[in-house]
Amino acid sequence: MLRRKDLLGIRDLSVNEIMTILQTAESMKGIVTGEAAKLEVLKGRSAVTLFYENSTRTRMAFTMAGTYLGAHVADLGVASSSVQKGESLVDTGITLDSMGIDYMIMRHGMSGAAHLLAKNVKASVINAGDGANEHPTQALLDFYTIYEKKGGFKNLKVTIVGDIAHSRVARSNVFGLTQLGAQVTLAGPGTLTAKSMEKLGCTVMTDVKAAVKDADIVMALRIQLERQKGGLFPNLREYSQIYGLNKEIFEYAKPDALLMHPAPVNRGVELTPELMDSKVSVIDEQVTNGVAVRMAILALLQEGRENA
Ligand code: CP
């Protein structure tokens, strides 16, 4: 079980908690693939998704995860809600609390938004991405995919390439993978990487080939044009020529290396379609694992609530 009300960031989780989530996800995966019967551990419970930013994978994965566990899952539909009349985040949360909602799963453009909501509601809050801060459930599904494919983390070289500066996925992965014993290298243009991230125990480079050399896992990140003010690189064509991953660069990684990407992918920018669609890619499996991991998180939080 998780003995905490909320899941807000990887930074707060112990190695034990992370491993409990991964092992529980392993036992849930058969439900996602149709090989095991659905559960009812959330029967009578309610969950709401509040997405102030767009999403396909995270929102749908939580919806399916809650449904497979027997919960009632509803979407607030932020674009058509009273948020558009100026209702604050805290007032929106208190309103949902008054309806007896058990789980609030929120994505927001502001770093710290999930923490603010969690302080003000009785419901368990799950951070589905807050600004450039953290995306803990994405990182947990990344960890699960690595664990499933490689059997552990000790001394694995994980190279993350792309728009590091704006990436909550990179931050959550660094917080967790360094704790789990992996060696993490971040790579991208100087304007999209921050040398200061080395304080977190990783290596930061601008030479992609050197960063990919001997990697066990190569994770590409999306260029987040929506968070950039412009001028950070000349244009997408030049970015893809220098920092985009293709089969030739991937040859520098270990022979059994895997390609990951949190998606959505800008095809032809951070990855060539040829590499993305090749057998080294586990991007589709990451999506499947995302449902299992979110089931594990909901089930473990519920167990904690029942034993509080
Ligand atoms: N990886 C991820 O968070 O995807 P969505 O934006 O589609 O949820």
pLDDT in tens, 124-166: 999 999 999 999 999 999 999 999 999 999 999 999 999 898 8
pTM, two decimal places: 0.96
Range 226-235 average pLDDT: 65
Task: Decide: helix, strand or coil at residue 76.
Answer: coil
**Number of separate helices (H) and strands (E) present in the chain:** 11, 9
Q: Which pLDDT score, from 0 to 100, does residue 242 have?
A: 87
pLDDT class of 237 with cuts at 50, 70, 90: confident
Q: Which pLDDT score, from 0 to 100, does residue 69 have?
A: 98
Mean pLDDT estimate for the chain:
95
Q: Which pLDDT score, from 0 to 100, does residue 258 have?
A: 98
CA of 53 to the centre of ligand 1 (A): 10
Residue carrying the six token digits 């089969």: 247
* Exposed / middle / buried, residue 132 (Cβ in 10 Å: 0-12, 13-18, 19+): buried
List, chain by chain if needed, residues with CB within 6 Å of any ligand 1 atom: 55-58, 138, 262-264
* Ligand 1 atom with the shortest distance to the CA of 128: 3
* Exposed / middle / buried, residue 24 (Cβ in 10 Å: 0-12, 13-18, 19+): buried
Task: Decide: helix, strand or coil at residue 280.
Answer: coil
CA of 267 to the centre of ligand 1 (A): 15
Q: pLDDT tens across 281-307, in order?
A: 999 999 999 999 999 999 999 999 999
User: Which segment of 131-140, 175-184, 219-228 scores lowest on mean pLDDT?
Assistant: 219-228
Q: pLDDT tens across 32-69, in order?
A: 999 999 999 999 999 999 999 999 999 999 999 999 99
Residues 265, 283 contacting (CB under 8 angstroms): yes
* Sign of the CA dihedral with 113 first, then 115, 121, and 122 last: positive
Residue nearest to atom 5 of ligand 1 (CA): 55
Q: pLDDT tens across 211-220, in order?
A: 999 999 999 9
Q: Which pLDDT score, from 0 to 100, does residue 51 have?
A: 97
CA of 128 to the centre of ligand 1 (A): 9
Which run of H or of E encompasses 124?
strand 124-130
